[in-house]
């Protein structure tokens, strides 16, 4: 394969009479300059000084003699002009200004690049807005008109201001270069300018190129295909115009129009893949099949896929050159600083800035970050658990010092400054971030030092901008510009640009040819990009003044796409088939066009290779040490909830009761279900205590109704430490708790009014009993805490309160063996165990009626839900007899025997409820 650049160099060396060192090659990109230089060295047969090889942007700056500045600095400069030319009463804050000014600067840039008469355009734009809205009636519309009235003034003043400082945005530099072109030509007589591989030129470039060509000091080489000129296809939109309209080509040949797309054999593959991950994984498979990757390019139409692409490269890719930079925003250190900003932004948002309190989630996000943990002495320190135990939604500096006492290394003092009062100003925060970068320089190693240094320069830039212009007045604005900087700043990869696999963005491919091309994300909305544009200039106005629209941009990407195929032999074009947030799943129109033009295309749809691994159920054998732990548990006592845990999943029983692994305590920002349950239990205990061994009365229940709200509030304060129940979801939960207790008390009052005799026997009583099992050589202690025991019209009742939903079917027990098979019946197991413990404790003879059940606060209409032993639907048998206790004990002992049997391992339950 002979590349385009190779042909250019051959033609130049053959036909150009000028000495090599007096040539100037101008190319579309810096990357293309590297490849041309290599090609020139390969073909030169004698020693000489190299010619000037320069990218178009640098060349234009050289002609204009103006330095280009970045967008961030331009915004600060523009704001100074805006304030000077806007009445103080109508001035936007810098925060608001920056949101629309970046769009205005883009429009200014296009206006100048395309040499549009700014006065005509802004007058035209102003008049259109006057016609469309001729009767402004609101302050908003008046301000809107005022904005368009002043746009041209802003433009002119800003242009003058930048010109005096000899700096500018790209468009200004292009306009000035066009004005200076004759002076440049006059001072470069005897030199030769060679323009290589261009396609879409703006009006400034068109004018400059034509002047250079007409003056005789320049020549131009196009990389074109004959098909571009034999049709109206958008690919050749610009080249057709230059060939037909430029005076230079009336007498000079158009170099070159070649026939690559139809005459040459190509191995073209269209590959559809669901999701971006599958695309990149398949790319890895393509590369893995190739022994060498010289003259191979992996091109990402969507450059955001770079991290995914890097993680998908196979091991046989030993050399790689990455032309795209890695955005600082993708580096973990960026999230570390984002977490610092959120400390203060949320502090302001939540109204706790004056008190210097910090939202606990922001604290956890910062302290759990990997970079923060580099400052901690011990990796085992569990900050989440510590904050959870304190249950503070907002933490003060003192609280933080108490949590982290004796935990930090030398970095503690530098980190602590972020929590001290008065350090949340813009100046202090920038300075503190600079200091923390200096600290990390002494801690990190390798590439992380480069990360830290780049963030150090970001904060230095912010500090310089703020000192110079003073526009960053709030943390919100500071954060906004920090995000812009880390998104635009990129960490460059080091590599050999001429060897191995080339991983590139679409624009980096200009002028360069490859034998194997792998192009990803060839979807509508990506290639070409979507039609949406950020501009204050409407589409029809742009068309009228010759400014580029999405139509021209589509033509640009069409050319880039087809040019890639000119000399390539193996072409893999991948697209996402799925409709998701990354696109519509529609393949690009470029693929459809190519399909019509060629019949030798191989089409396929690939699917991700999902290797399903059969999940083995976890099995824990019972070793001697584990049996000893079980003995300890038997001595301490087994509760109904412990048995319920075992029935649900023996492995959970093993973790919680043997290994003592409990869930991490978390801050209850919203009242948890178990906290609400505890509050209701404690409230009912407080209310009913005076009636132990007494009958309930109407007077007593009415008093309970009066005192219930105060007791609920008191118990919330006891159980929900440092929490706020005065607003939001917590207020609703508090009100629901009040409603539950109120409805329950009124239900009791209704029963008493109807003549029921309700006597409270015990509240929150703990009972225990010891059982012996033949196959277990040690006694087993059982214990349980019963919420309430009462007597209603001579019937003794064991009652368990549940704040969750329980229905009668969960307490219908015909066959006790079901208790160990289904978690649904563990509530029946629980109340039956309470019944057994009570009967043992009180040594009852079952001569009087005895019932057990649940009162569900989410199902109060169901009343007292009793154990039901009757067979058949709609029937009931609620009395607990000695026979029922014995039947229950048989199943209970079977479950306990299984727990303590050394031959039966703990095995994961595949049907566990949670």
Consecutive 10-residue runs of the chain (914 residues): their mean pLDDT? 92 91 94 94 90 96 93 92 90 88 93 94 83 57 70 94 94 96 92 95 96 95 92 91 95 91 88 93 93 92 91 90 87 92 90 88 87 68 72 83 63 71 87 90 86 93 91 91 89 82 92 96 90 85 91 93 94 90 78 90 88 82 92 92 92 91 70 88 94 94 93 89 80 93 95 94 94 90 95 95 91 88 88 94 90 94 92 88 93 93 92 77
What pLDDT is attached to residue 582?
Answer: 56
What pLDDT is attached to residue 850?
Answer: 94
> Which among 396, 402, 314, 405 has a CA at the least distance from the CA of 360?
396
Determine the Cα–Cα distance for residues 817 and 888; give it in Å rounded to an integer. Answer: 9
Q: Which helix (H) or strand (E) holds 548?
A: none
What pLDDT is attached to residue 519?
Answer: 97
* 28 token code pair: 């579309």
Cα radius of gyration (the chain): 39
Determine the Cα–Cα distance for residues 32 and 140; give it in Å rounded to an integer. Answer: 49
* Contact indicator for 42, 13 with CB cutoff of 8 Å: no
What pLDDT is attached to residue 371?
Answer: 86
What pLDDT is attached to residue 865?
Answer: 94
Q: Which residues of 695-721 are buried (b: 16+ CB within 10 A; e: fewer)?
A: ebeeebbeebbeebeebbbebbeebbe
What pLDDT is attached to residue 141?
Answer: 54
Q: Give the global pTM.
A: 0.78
What pLDDT is attached to residue 666?
Answer: 67
The counts of H helices and E strands in the chain are 33, 27
């Amino acid at each position: 394969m002979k590349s385009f650049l190779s042909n250019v160099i051959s033609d130049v060396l053959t036909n150009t009479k000028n000495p090599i060192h007096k040539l100037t090659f101008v190319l579309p990109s810096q990357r293309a300059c590297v490849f041309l230089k290599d090609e020139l060295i390969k073909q030169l047969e004698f020693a000489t000084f190299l010619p000037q090889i320069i990218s178009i942007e640098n060349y234009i700056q050289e002609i204009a003699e103006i330095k280009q500045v970045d967008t961030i600095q331009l915004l600060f400069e523009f704001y100074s002009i805006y304030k000077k030319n806007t009445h103080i009463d109508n001035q936007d804050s810098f925060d608001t200004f920056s949101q629309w000014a970046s769009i205005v600067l883009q429009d200014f840039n296009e206006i100048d690049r395309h040499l549009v008469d700014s006065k005509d355009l802004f007058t035209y734009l102003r008049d259109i807005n006057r016609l469309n809205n001729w009767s402004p009636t609101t302050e908003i519309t008046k301000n809107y008109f005022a904005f368009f009235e002043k746009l041209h003034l802003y433009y002119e003043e800003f242009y003058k201001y930048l010109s005096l400082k000899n700096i500018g945005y790209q468009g200004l530099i292009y306009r000035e270069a066009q004005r200076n072109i004759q002076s440049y030509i006059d001072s470069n007589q005897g030199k030769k300018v060679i323009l290589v591989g261009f396609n879409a030129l703006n009006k400034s470039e068109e004018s400059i190129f034509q002047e250079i060509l007409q003056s005789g000091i320049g020549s131009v080489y196009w990389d074109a295909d004959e098909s571009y000129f034999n049709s109206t296809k958008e690919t050749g939109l610009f080249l057709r115009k230059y060939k037909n309209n430029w005076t230079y080509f009336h007498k000079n040949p158009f170099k070159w129009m070649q026939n690559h797309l139809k005459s040459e054999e190509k191995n073209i593959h269209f590959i559809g893949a669901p999701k971006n991950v599958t695309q990149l994984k398949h790319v890895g498979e393509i590369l893995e099949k190739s022994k060498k990757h010289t003259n191979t390019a992996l091109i990402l139409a969507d450059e955001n896929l770079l991290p995914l692409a890097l993680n998908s490269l196979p091991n046989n890719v030993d050399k790689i050159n990455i032309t795209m930079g890695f955005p600082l925003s993708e580096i973990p250190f960026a999230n570390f600083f984002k977490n610092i900003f959120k400390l203060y932004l949320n502090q302001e948002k939540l109204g706790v800035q004056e008190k210097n309190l910090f939202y606990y989630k922001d604290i956890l996000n910062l302290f759990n970050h990997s970079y923060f943990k580099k400052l901690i002495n011990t990796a085992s320190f569990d900050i989440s658990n510590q904050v959870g135990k304190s249950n503070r939604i907002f933490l003060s500096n003192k609280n933080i010092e108490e949590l982290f006492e004796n935990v930090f290394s030398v970095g503690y003092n530098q980190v602590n400054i972020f929590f001290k009062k008065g350090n949340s100003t813009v100046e202090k925060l920038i300075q503190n971030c600079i200091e923390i970068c200096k600290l990390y320089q002494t801690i990190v190693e390798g590439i992380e030092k480069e990360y830290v240094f780049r963030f150090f320069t970001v904060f230095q830039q912010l500090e310089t901008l703020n000192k110079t212009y003073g526009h960053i007045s709030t943390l919100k604005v500071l954060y906004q510009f920090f995000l812009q900087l880390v998104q635009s700043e990129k960490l460059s990869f080091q590599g050999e640009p001429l060897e191995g696999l080339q991983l590139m963005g679409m624009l980096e491919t200009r002028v360069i040819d490859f034998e194997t091309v792998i192009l990803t994300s060839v979807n509508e909305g990506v290639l070409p990009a979507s039609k949406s544009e950020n501009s204050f200039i409407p589409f029809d106005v742009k068309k009228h003044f010759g400014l580029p629209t999405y139509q021209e941009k589509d033509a640009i990407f069409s050319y880039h796409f087809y040019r890639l195929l000119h000399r390539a032999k193996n072409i893999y074009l991948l697209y996402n088939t799925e409709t998701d947030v990354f696109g519509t799943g529609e393949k690009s129109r470029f693929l459809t066009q190519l399909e019509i033009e060629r019949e030798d295309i191989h089409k396929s749809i690939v699917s991700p290779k999902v290797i399903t691994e059969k999940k083995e159920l976890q099995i824990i054998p019972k070793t001697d040490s584990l049996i000893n732990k079980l003995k300890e548990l038997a001595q301490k006592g087994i509760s109904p909830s412990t048995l319920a845990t075992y029935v649900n999943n023996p492995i959970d029983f093993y973790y919680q009761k043997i290994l003592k692994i409990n869930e991490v305590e978390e801050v209850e920002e919203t009242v948890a279900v178990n906290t609400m349950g505890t509050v209701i239990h404690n409230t009912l205990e407080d209310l009913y205590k005076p009636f132990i061994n007494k009958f309930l009365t109407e007077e007593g229940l009415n008093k309970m109704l009066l005192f219930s709200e105060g007791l609920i509030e008191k118990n919330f304060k006891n159980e929900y430490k440092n929490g706020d129940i005065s607003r939001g979801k917590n207020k609703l939960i508090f009100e629901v708790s009040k409603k539950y207790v109120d409805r329950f008390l009124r239900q009791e009052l209704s029963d008493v009014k109807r003549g029921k005799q309700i006597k409270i026997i015990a509240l929150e009583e703990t009972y225990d009993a010891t059982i012996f099992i033949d196959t277990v050589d040690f006694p087993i202690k059982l214990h349980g805490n019963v919420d309430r025991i009462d007597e209603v019209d001579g019937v003794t009742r064991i009652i368990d309160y549940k704040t969750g939903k329980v229905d009668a079917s969960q307490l219908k027990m015909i066959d006790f063996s079901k208790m160990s098979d289904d978690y649904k019946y563990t509530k029946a197991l629980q109340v039956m165990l309470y019944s057994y413990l009570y009967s043992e404790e009180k040594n009852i003879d079952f001569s009087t009626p005895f019932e057990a059940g649940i009162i569900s606060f989410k199902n109060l209409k169901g009343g007292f839900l009793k154990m039901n032993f009757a067979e058949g639907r709609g029937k009931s048998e609620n009395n607990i007899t000695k026979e029922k206790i014995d039947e229950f004990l048989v199943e209970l002992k079977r479950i306990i025997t299984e727990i303590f049997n050394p031959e039966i391992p703990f095995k994961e339950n595949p049907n566990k409820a949670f």
